[in-house]
Every structure is written in structure tokens, then in C-alpha cells.
Amino acid sequence: MTGLGFPDGLPPGRRGLAAVAQLLPVAMSTLDIAIANTALPAIAADLHTNPEAAIWIINAYQLALIATALAFAALGEIAGHKRVFLYGLVLFTLASVGCACSWSLASLTVARIFQGVGGSALMSVNAALIRFIYPEAQLGKGTGLNVLVVATSLAVGPTVASLMLAIGPWPLLFAINIPVGIFSLALGLKMLPDTPRSRHRFDFILALQNAGAFGFFILGLSGAAHGVSAKITLPEIAAGLIFGAFMLRRQAGHPAPMLPVDLFKIPVFALSTVTALCAFATQSFGFVALPFFFEQVLGRSQIETGFLITPWPIALALTGALAGRLSDRFPPPVLGGAGLAALAVGMVLLALLPVHPSVADIVWRMAICGAGFGLFQSPNLKMLMASAPPRRAGGASGVITIARLSGQTIGAALVALCFFIGGHHGPVLALVLGALFAAAASVASFARQLAPARTAVLTK
């Protein structure tokens, strides 16, 4: 039992079907991100819009996701994680219909906003559901499968998009979500576990303040990364900070704050969040800088660059599943720290590539980066969820989503700064800075081995 009257995981037979019901929507929403990125030029051409305007097809989804993630995580603790997950699945599926039927950039952008809100509901309670699907002794296995599905979806996304665009128009990319969503909904209604619920009410004003804080802040950082004028980005960042101050003031004294500052009293949880933020920033350094590095510095073609990026997500997928199982047997802080140290080494090795490297020289370095990130991700996810009390699983799950998105946005913004400062050497500078972020994350991960698991206040 979890200590709250709920069993420690589902029975083996139901557990597998519940995992399918939980992982299919996660794969669908992750694949949708990779597919939309790849199909963006085709969509822009068909809708007769320029690339600068078309980028809002991507930005609308990301902003909707990060602006509502903590609100849905808090709602999951009140209404039940299963209910929020399934309603999110319904909204994501209906929004996919809207995307497939869009006739203009404006209509597609609006549909993508709703799709982002649905994806937020899915992702914000995803980790919380894992905790109630798997027993504590197999939590690493559950997180490992989640990492495997996400990494595989990201890896095959560009290929899937290219194949589907070869046989049909771009709306087909969104229409494919409809049957998957219906099947997952039918299975999830029967198999996903009910979870404990808090008795306090949902604070809609706090949710709006939270959306303003993260929405404006990330909008400002993203704009800076894309070269938007400081006259626009600085007021956006300032607005985000002001909303954040109002949010912290309103939630003071709340038993389960929407921005779960109470969980940061747990040393392991706080260190795990820092580890995730720095690690995802490093991944963003790599994924944003490496295409420029391969094409502009090493002189590779766009097609070659696509293949040279692939070893990273493949190694991540393979190692992530293994790391999840290993974290059930070995200390997760050590596994995560070792993986992040390997990621730092891999980034440095990429920055030190010779002027005319062979494909093999690049591939094994990329594989080190991917394997290192995979060795970190599953153990870190397990530690984040296990360090929070079961009644605060929703808040912990929301922090995971925010740490990932914030890290990726910060990494992208700093890559833009490296390009501005370093000029032709900007990609190399970005790889070195990414290595420093990975090294800092490694230190934070190892420090968790000495930190107390929970505070007495939160375990009462």
C-alpha cells in the first residue's frame, strides 16, 4: 500500500494494459512535436505564409503547454490524475481534428493552442500516473519505458513525417492522431488507476497568474533566442516576473501550492530539479547548435546532418530503457551523475572534432552524448517522483514538465547568445557551454547521494 489506502501499483495483468493506455498518448504527443517541426516548410508553402509567421505553429503549442502544465498538475491532485489525463486526451484528439481541417495559418495556430493545452494535461500528470501503475520496487522500469517511448518518438518523428508527406498532404500528419486517441481513451477508461484526491479547491485566479508568469517569461526568452528586439522581449520577461510575484503571494500558506515550493524543502527533490533543468539545457545546446556545427563548421550537407544527429536519440532510447531497470538495483544519483559526466565529455569531444572528421568520428561522439543523457533521465525521473509524498505526486509531475521545457528554452536562448558572441565559432562555444551545464548537473546528481530523502513536514 502507498500509505494513503491505495495499493502499491496495479496487478501484473492490468499493469501492462494501463501502461499501454498511458504510453500511447505520450508517444502520440511527442511524435506530434517532431512531425510538426519537420513538416513546417510544407505547411508554410501550402498555407502561403512565410517561415517567420509559420514558426507560430510550433510556438503556439509550446506556450500553451508550459503556461498550463502546473495548473493541470494541481488539478490532478484535486480531481484525480486519471481524469485529467483522459480529458487531456479528448482535447488533444479533438484539436487534432481541428488541425487536420485547418484552412489558414490563423485557424491552424488556434487548433495548435488547444492541442498544446491537451498535451499539457497529458504530460503534466504522466509521471504521477506511472507512480500508481507500477509498484515502488519497479518504478525504475516504468520510468525507463516512458523515456524509451519519448526518445523513440523523437528519433523516428522526422522519418515518419517525411514518409507521410510522400504519400499524402500535411493534414494527414494530424489526422493519424484520431484513431490512436480513440483507442487510448477506450483502454484508459478501463485500465488506468484511480488516484488519491486532495480536498482543497482549485484556484482559477492562481492558474491565470501561473499562465501569465510562465507564458510571458518563456515567450520573452524564446523571442530573444530568435533575435526579437529587446524592446519586446524585456517587457515580456518583466511581465512574467510580475505575474510570478503575484502568484507566489497568492499561494503563500496553501497546503498544496500550484508552484510546488513546498516540495523544494526536500533536498533530493530540489537537487533533482536542478539536475533536470541543467541536463535539458545541455540537450538543447546540442540539438540547436549541432546542425549549424555540422553544416557551417564541418561543411556537411543538410541530408548528412540529419543522419549524423540520429545516433544521439537512438543511443538515448536504448540506454534509457536499461537505465530505468538499473535504477531499481543501483543508486539513481550515481547512475545519473555518471551519465551526465559522460554527456559533458561527449560535448567536449564534439567541440574538439578535427577539421575533416570521418562519419565514424562523429557517430561515436554523438552516441556517447545520447547514452549519457539516457543514463541520467530514467533514474532522475524516478528520484523526482519517489522523493515527493504520494499526495503531492501531481505537483512533482508538473515540476518535471516545467524543468524540461524551461531547460530547453534557456539552452536555446544561450545558443543564440553564443552565436552572437562567437560568430563563426558560435556553435563550438555553445557545445563547450553545454558541457559546463552537464558537468554542473552531474555534480548536483552525485550530491543527492548524501542528501536526506524527505523532510519530516512533508512525510506526515
Tell me the C-alpha distance between 354 and 115, whole Å.
Answer: 44
pLDDT at 117: 94
Among the listed residues 23, 25, 131, the one whose alpha carbon sits nearest the alpha carbon of residue 88: 25
Residue 180 is predicted with a pLDDT of 93
**What's the mean pLDDT in 324-347?**
90
pLDDT tens digits for 126-177?
888 888 898 877 877 787 788 788 877 877 777 777 788 888 888 998 999 9
Regarding predicted confidence, which is higher, 303 or 270? 270
Amino acid identity, position 299: G
pLDDT score, position 8: 67
pLDDT (0 to 100) of residue 51:
66
Which has more confidence, 257 or 239? 239
With 70 as the cut, is the pLDDT of residue 405 above it?
yes
Give the mean pLDDT of 228-250. 90
Between CA 202 and CA 210 the distance in angstroms is 13
Whether residue 199 has pLDDT greater than 60: yes
| For residue 13, pLDDT beyond 90 | no
pLDDT digits (tens, 9 = 90+) for 358-386: 999 999 999 999 999 989 988 888 888 78
DSSP states along 85-120: HHHHHHHHHHHHHHHHT--SHHHHHHHHHHHHHHHH
The reported pLDDT for the residue numbered 458 is 47
Residue 393, pLDDT above cutoff 80: no
Q: Give the CATH superfamily of 1-202.
A: MFS general substrate transporter like domains (1.20.1250.20)
What average pLDDT does the structure give for the chain? 85
Q: At residue 198, does pLDDT exceed 90? A: no
Query: What pLDDT score does 221 carry?
Result: 81
Give the whole-angstrom CA distance, residue 148 versus residue 141: 10
Residue 72 has pLDDT above 50, yes or no: yes
CATH (one of 2.60.40.60, 3.90.600.10, 3.40.190.10, 1.20.1250.20) for 259-460: 1.20.1250.20
